[in-house]
């Protein structure tokens, strides 16, 4: 049998004015995905499942992914979609689509990319089943419900079951095709948005809610149960939490189980909270500077590029270079980092020279201004990571700052290693993140979350939503 596979993976933050374009997006077309599958883990899960079995022929179409950011450029999305369908026309009769989608990708002027793509697939291939893996922060729309046969979402945050989720949706597709049955999927919505950093699955109430999913999946009839939490930093009409249950043949059981999960969520929603000590930025930094152990991690949660913020908010830099500079007392501070292509270009021309440099505040003009720093660009790395980013290490009297030419995440120590920095020796490491990644959590002697303003503001009530959700 023939399976068409493809992937559109982006978390789009509508509060971020940046339009995510070609230069921000990594694309693998057709067979390219086979040699690059480790760079798209959800797709790898799908491919590995089918390749292990060898009974199916895979027809890869288009795979695109980008670091979360503002909405996707409309023309570029339409071009990728056009190629997706053009490659499909070259393939023989397709028996199923198995996709790697995020679920909260948005395109300027179009809205939900998943709704747009799935509706087009359904229009052109009305009788071909569609299966898709999703991020836990997927926003399930009515169109998605009407077009797909089944969805399976991550059960972990931070997301460490990405491969498993791809593998699982492939298994569901296999089950449906082999047994010639149309799977029965049910959805139940809860009209609330949960701040991203309150949904860690190691913490309550998510831990026990995820246990409910595992319990249901023990039933022979239930193939999969998921919670999609929606994406809090998208001001979108069809957002919020959705429970999804996929059954083999029993629609009633699926409906009942999905409603049960939604009710459980409502029952526990008052229990959501932050797992790290969370303070306004100035207080978080003062507390961090008082600590004796090291390294102390502070996450600048209002400007978290892994949740689609601009990554150029300067509030923490402003505090450390101005208001709090007398409280630093010789402590070594690393700030990772800031997105500023212009500052990178200026540094490149003035390496090892003392300069005055404006950083940040180009995209985030709502919550900060560019900050003028005096210091020396002491190190430069070119071609870092998949997006070929140029990194500058800029040293001021108060701290070392990593300046990036591309909008990238600060999720592990690769960047520090590339720049020859041992972050474990620093007193204070400031990262543009929300909850810490597993690696940083292991590294941190103590950690604080700075509740900074920005397009990933954790205090959802401070953001302007035009749609009504209960904000948690």
Return residues touching Zn ion (CB under 5 A).
135, 137
CB of 136 to Zn ion, least distance (A): 5
CB of 194 to Zn ion, least distance (A): 12
CB of 199 to Zn ion, least distance (A): 9
CB of 195 to Zn ion, least distance (A): 13
Instruction: Tell me whether strands 241-247 and 222-228 are parallel, antiparallel or unpaired.
Output: antiparallel
Q: Which two tokens stand for residue 157?
A: 């945050």
CB of 463 to Zn ion, least distance (A): 18
Name the strands in the sheet holding 130-134, side by side, starting at the edge strand that comes first in the sequence: 25-29, 57-66, 2-9, 96-101, 130-134, 150-153
Question: What DSSP element (H or E) covers 337?
Answer: strand 333-339
Nearer to Zn ion, 15 or 59 (CB): 15
Cβ burial, residue 195 (10 Å; 0-12/13-18/19+):
buried
CB of 17 to Zn ion, least distance (A): 21
Contact 375, 397 (CB under 8 A): yes
CB of 138 to Zn ion, least distance (A): 8
Nearer to Zn ion, 139 or 321 (CB): 139
Tell me the residue number closest to Zn ion, measured at CB.
137
CB of 133 to Zn ion, least distance (A): 12
Quick one: which of 20, 12, 39 has its CA closest to 28? 39
Nearer to Zn ion, 135 or 303 (CB): 135
3-state class of 121 per DSSP?
helix
Max alpha carbon distance in the chain (Å)? 71
Q: How far apart (Å, rounded) are the C-alpha atoms in residues 110 and 325?
A: 46
CB of 68 to Zn ion, least distance (A): 8
**Can you give the three-state secondary structure of 134-187, one letter per residue?**
ECCCCCCCHHHHHHCCEEEECCCCCCCCHHHHHHHHHHHHHHHHHCCCCCEEEE
CB of 65 to Zn ion, least distance (A): 13
Nearer to Zn ion, 135 or 161 (CB): 135
Using omega within 30 degrees of 0 as the cis cutoff, is the peptide bond preceding 295 cis? Answer: yes
Distances (CA, A) of 430 to 156, 300, 456: 24, 7, 16
Nearer to Zn ion, 233 or 367 (CB): 233
Nearer to Zn ion, 6 or 68 (CB): 68
Nearer to Zn ion, 171 or 200 (CB): 200
Nearer to Zn ion, 81 or 137 (CB): 137
Quick one: which of 296, 311, 341 has its CA closest to 441? 296
Q: How far apart (Å, rounded) are the C-alpha atoms in residues 367 and 369?
A: 7
Question: What dihedral angle (degrees, nearest 10) is formed by the CA atoms of 75, 80, 83, 88?
Answer: -130
3-state class of 217 per DSSP?
helix
Contact 142, 242 (CB under 8 A): no
Angle at alpha carbon of residue 322, lines to 316 and 327, rounded to 5°: 85
Nearer to Zn ion, 303 or 427 (CB): 303
Q: Which two tokens stand for residue 323?
A: 């208001």
Nearer to Zn ion, 134 or 223 (CB): 134
């Amino acid at each position: 049998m023939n399976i068409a596979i493809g992937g559109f993976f982006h978390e789009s933050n509508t509060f971020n004015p940046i339009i995510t374009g070609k230069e921000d997006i990594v694309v693998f077309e057709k067979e390219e995905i086979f040699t690059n599958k480790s760079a798209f883990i959800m797709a790898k899960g799908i491919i590995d499942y089918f390749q292990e079995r060898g009974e199916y022929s895979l027809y890869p179409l288009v795979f695109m992914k980008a670091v979360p950011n503002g909405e996707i450029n409309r023309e570029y999305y339409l071009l990728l979609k056009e190629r997706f369908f053009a490659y499909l026309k070259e393939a023989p009769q397709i028996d199923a689509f198995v996709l790697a989608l995020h679920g909260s990708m948005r395109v300027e002027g179009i809205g939900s990319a998943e709704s747009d793509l799935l509706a087009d697939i359904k229009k052109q291939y009305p009788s071909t089943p569609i299966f898709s893996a999703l991020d836990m922060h997927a926003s399930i729309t009515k169109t998605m419900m009407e077009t797909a046969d089944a969805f399976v979402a991550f059960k972990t945050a931070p997301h460490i079951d990405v491969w498993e989720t791809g593998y699982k949706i492939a298994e569901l597709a296999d089950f449906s095709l082999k047994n010639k049955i149309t799977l029965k999927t049910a959805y139940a919505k809860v009209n609330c948005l949960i701040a991203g950093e309150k949904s860690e699955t190691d913490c309550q109430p998510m831990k026990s809610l995820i246990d409910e999913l595992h319990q249901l999946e023990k039933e022979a009839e239930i193939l999969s149960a998921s919670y999609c939490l929606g994406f809090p930093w998208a001001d979108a009409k069809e957002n919020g939490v959705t429970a999804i249950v996929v059954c083999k043949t029993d629609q009633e059981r699926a409906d009942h189980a999905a409603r049960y999960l939604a009710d459980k969520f409502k029952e526990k929603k008052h229990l959501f909270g932050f797992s790290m000590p969370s303070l306004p930025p100035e207080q978080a930094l003062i507390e961090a500077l008082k600590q004796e152990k090291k390294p102390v991690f502070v996450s600048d949660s209002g400007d978290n590029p892994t949740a689609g913020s601009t990554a150029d908010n300067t509030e923490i830099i402003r505090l450390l270079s101005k208001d709090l500079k007398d409280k630093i007392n010789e402590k070594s501070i690393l700030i990772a980092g800031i997105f500023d292509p212009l500052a990178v270009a200026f540094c490149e021309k003035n390496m090892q020279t003392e300069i005055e440099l404006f950083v940040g505040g180009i995209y985030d003009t709502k919550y900060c201004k560019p900050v003028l720093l005096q210091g020396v660009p002491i190190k430069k790395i070119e071609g870092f990571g998949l997006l070929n980013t140029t990194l500058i290490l800029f040293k001021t009297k108060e701290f070392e700052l990593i300046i990036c030419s591309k909008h990238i995440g600060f999720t592990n120590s690769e960047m520090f290693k590339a720049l020859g920095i041992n972050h474990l020796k620093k007193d204070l490491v400031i990262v543009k993140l929300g909850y810490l990644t597993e690696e940083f959590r292991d590294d941190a002697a103590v950690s604080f979350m700075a509740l900074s303003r920005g397009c990933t503001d954790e205090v959802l009530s401070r953001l302007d939503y035009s749609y009504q959700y209960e904000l948690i």
